[in-house]
Chain A
């Protein structure tokens, strides 16, 4: 995972509330394409007109937002399906940070798993930042200082669970980290097999075994 420290650049405002992960990446793309091939299909229902030509009105088709590393979104961004491909698709179009009043819980976790920073701010702050960004001002998101800066506005601080913050800052690999707990996992299972044998007994079908 690429460590996240500071992200700076244009921020694309996409303030509609409740943008679901089906909207970010369609099911046909998930099922037929692999990671690395999803970028062109991010937000496809908005990004392309009926003819397949880029829709000039959609924010990610306009300068300076075409390669924007920051997305400013509406409430409950990424609700719905657990598809991690929504995060991969955003990553593939260059997004590293999303600022919103709130996120779908699973999408939020999926961001952290991939080194994308989800920043939760008050709705009014999000709108203020979006207005500046729309006017062409760049944003700077500093995870070390937990601060969003933008010329013309006072800095805004945000919070993130300390464990998640450290993992992002260091680009930690969760599987590698958890494997260090192998002794504790074994001890838990040994205890638990006695306390709740039915949990483990089910591993063989009781009919066919």
Chain B
């Protein structure tokens, strides 16, 4: 029977069929971070259970770590204690922890792919909703809660009901200046944040094939903002080239054998999906959010929408609330909204290509007076690679702070927050009320738009900036 990418990976991982349409699935990669990891490890130990397969769990430090230059721990005693506890617990349970000393620390969804831990056809879980990022490799990857983390540690399995199949076809090609971030924000704006509930989404079509791996990760990262636990892209030559030579990836003959198997993962031509969506990629414009949900999007050259005219009656009250929180009026040009700060980072957009994209805008330019800009690389590896190219100099000369890797201002777990009432252009994934700090106003955007906005002092795309200084 014709099968989808989801069907194939799912079927290859079923250990047992349990009552009530639940499958017991094998977990190939369990990724951990300190925010939920410490408690989960203690919970398992408290039940006198061993970690079943410590070799299949990999941990790092990202949520509460300080991003101050040269920092190794937290900014406060409580966060440093949590980090120390993660170091101790992972040693006790013989789990690999990627830390500062070994140079491999970073955001869990950046280091998994970077180290070659994320591979096509794998099941990948992590106590973090943005685990869908790893689906970019044609892996089935999703975020789980603390109880499920403990279950995975104790059994190397997870109990799941199979999600339904959805395919989103990005037809044609995007126009110049449109990034993966714009593509996914556009899609969320079109479908809404609950459209993917109960589904695993496969992204397909020529505009997806044209993306490099880091752009695919950005796109899959926001699947959870569509409501889908998993978002995935069938692996291809781009995927295989990315994987080759990475630290934990198979090598030589083993890699050849793996690639041969991975080639058969793509959805069969005649496979059917429970739901299909078609997007004309040429219609996508550089996009930002104006409101308090990732579905509140507008093109950078559009105006703030009018809840009384531009949305379903059912969403009207929510749009009014969002505009009031964001201190915006219908009809305001988006690119005239003044901003206070810019955050370039997070598991969405903190990889080398993201930093290159931002730096290319900032080269020979400077942040507008009174604005604050931060760059938080996704990992120590990204930071080193960027420094080798001199990107750190471009950022610091433009007036940005160049910081240590971590989740930072995307979620504020470590204390990196946007002050109340401040407006931040952020390359992260959530513009929820208070997400970046109580009373913080967030506009989600691509690294290019974030960089251009820093220079302009208001929301802007690179092509809206005046010419560079000679």
> Which A positions have Cβ atoms within 8 angstroms of B?
16-18, 20, 22-23, 26-28, 30-32, 34-35, 45, 75-76, 79-85, 87, 102-106, 109-110, 113-114, 161-166, 174-175, 178-179, 181, 184-185, 188-189, 192, 196-208
* Closest chain A CB from B58 CB (angstroms): 9
Tell me if B143 is interfacial: C-beta within 8 Å of chain A: yes
User: Do residues B227 and A198 form an inter-chain contact, with CB atoms below 8 A?
Assistant: no
CA distance A51 to B219 in the complex (A): 41
User: Do residues A30 and B413 form an inter-chain contact, with CB atoms below 8 A?
Assistant: yes
In-complex Cβ contact of B430 among A17, A22, A199 (8 A): A22
* Closest chain A CB from B147 CB (angstroms): 4
A105 contact set on B, CB distance < 8 A: 163, 197-198, 227-229
CA distance A189 to B227 in the complex (A): 32
Given contact pairs A27-B413, A163-B18, a sample of 20 additional A-B residue pairs in the complex whose CB atoms are under 8 Å apart: A26-B438, A28-B412, A32-B78, A35-B39, A45-B433, A76-B194, A79-B227, A105-B227, A162-B20, A162-B21, A164-B22, A174-B159, A175-B155, A178-B24, A185-B15, A185-B26, A188-B26, A198-B249, A202-B249, A205-B248
- Chain B 125-174 residues near chain A, CB threshold 8 A: 127-129, 142-148, 150-151, 154-157, 159, 161, 163
Number of A-B contacts (CB under 8 A): 192
Residue-wise, chain B 82-97 has the 8 Å CB interface mask toward A (1 for contact) of 1000000000000000
User: Do residues B155 and A189 form an inter-chain contact, with CB atoms below 8 A?
Assistant: no
User: Do residues B293 and A113 form an inter-chain contact, with CB atoms below 8 A?
Assistant: no
Tell me if B122 is interfacial: C-beta within 8 Å of chain A: yes
**Most chain B beta carbons < 10 A, residue from A75, A82, A104, A165:** A82
B79 contact set on A, CB distance < 8 A: 31
| Contact status of A189 and B26, CB under 8 A, knowing A76-B197, A82-B128, A104-B227 | yes
CA distance A60 to B126 in the complex (A): 33
Q: Which 4 A-B pairs have the closest CB atoms?
A: A163-B20, A203-B55, A162-B20, A84-B145
Tell me if B432 is interfacial: C-beta within 8 Å of chain A: yes
B157 contact set on A, CB distance < 8 A: 178, 181, 185
Tell me if B35 is interfacial: C-beta within 8 Å of chain A: yes
In-complex Cβ contact of A199 among B35, B122, B128 (8 A): B122
User: Do residues B22 and A161 form an inter-chain contact, with CB atoms below 8 A?
Assistant: yes
